[in-house]
Amino acid sequence: MTAGSAETARWVADNFGLVRVRSMEWVARGAVGEVHRLVTDTGAYAVKRAFWREDPDGVVESRARHEVAFVERCLGAGLLAPRPVLARDGSVLVRDASGTGWRVHVFAPGVVPDRSDLAAQRWVLGQGALIHGLALDPAPGDTVHAPYTASTVDWAELAALAVAVGTEWRHE
């Protein structure tokens, strides 16, 4: 199966219950796979194809389910996140005949803001603070490093300290 082909688009749509395919186009290459935008009669979806297979299917599915739970908690907390789409069989990840893993999320269009856009920077930092506040446990068998766990920092106190020591970004 060729990524982005009409055959692949139909296979993905069928496995994830997405009805009739209108189009599928390549969007981006990520660190572990590539993303395509699939448009069907039910909407637009981000189709993610993994480049390699690292762990046994049970481990991969367990971690993927943990990620889905994380996204659901983020959405419940008012954060914006692309909602995962489960396959017809209820799994998060589906493998094609070659063993390549495929996942689907509702497509979340956007643009990368300019680095000088302070409002966008504040928004992104606020989203990160909300995520850290969710205090999620690691997936079974995973170790989560300190920066990815809940933060108990008093942000107002930290900002005051930054001002007191003259940190370059203290007024932003």
Q: Please state the three-class secondary structure of the chain as a single string.
A: CCCCCHHHHHHHHHHCCCCCEEEEEEEEECCCEEEEEEEECCEEEEEEEECCCCCCHHHHHHHHHHHHHHHHHHHHCCCCCCCEECCCCCCCCEECCCCCEEEEEECCCCCCCCCCCHHHHHHHHHHHHHHHCCCCCCCCCCCCCHHHCCCCCCHHHHHHHHHHHCCCCCCC
**pLDDT tens-place string over residues 112-134:** 888 889 999 888 888 888 887 77
Task: Report d(CA 66, CA 47) in Å as an integer.
Answer: 19
Most confident residue range from 59-63, 82-86, 144-148: 82-86
pLDDT at 1 > cutoff 80 = no
pLDDT at 104 > cutoff 90 = yes
pLDDT at 144 > cutoff 80 = no
Quote the percentage of the chain above a pLDDT of 70. Answer: 82
pLDDT given at position 172: 56
pLDDT given at position 3: 66
* pLDDT range class, residue 10, cuts 50, 70, 90: very high
Q: Which residue has the higher pLDDT, 25 or 141?
A: 25
pLDDT at 155 > cutoff 60 = yes
